[in-house]
């Protein structure tokens, strides 16, 4: 398994977020991004997870709720990647994938776009 500290991995996630075009980040609303070491036990290969209400499903009822949560998992990412460059690329794909869920884009469309 590739070695990388949690701090280094968090920095890669931050850099991936910085590469999201500003016109999209301005539209993101009430969402927080986290790094965890491992995903839930029932999904050990999960690289990222979006939990919340996509922007496309929010209505007048949406007020006073906790932020949506995007989590990027370090362990499975490091286990599947052979180099730091692979981790950088996979982290960016994962961040884009989970942000797309925030915008209401489903997995089928993301896979078609290459963000599987």
Question: What pTM was computed for the model?
Answer: 0.92
Show pLDDT as tens, one digit a residue, over the chain (116 residues): 899 999 999 999 999 999 999 999 999 999 999 999 999 999 999 999 999 999 999 998 988 899 999 999 999 999 999 999 999 999 999 999 999 999 999 989 988 887 76
Q: Which of 39, 40, 42, 34 is nearest to 9 (CA)?
A: 34
């Amino acid at each position: 398994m590739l070695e990388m500290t949690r701090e280094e991995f968090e920095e890669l996630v931050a850099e991936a977020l910085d590469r999201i075009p500003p016109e999209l980040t301005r539209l993101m609303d009430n969402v927080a991004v986290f790094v965890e070491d491992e995903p839930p036990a029932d999904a050990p290969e999960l690289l990222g997870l979006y939990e919340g209400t996509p922007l496309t499903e929010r209505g007048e009822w949406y007020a006073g709720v906790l932020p949506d949560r995007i989590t990027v998992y370090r362990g499975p990412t490091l286990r599947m990647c052979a180099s730091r460059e692979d981790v950088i690329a996979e982290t960016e794909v994962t961040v884009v994938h989970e942000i797309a869920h925030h915008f209401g884009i489903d997995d089928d469309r993301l896979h078609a776009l290459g963000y599987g």
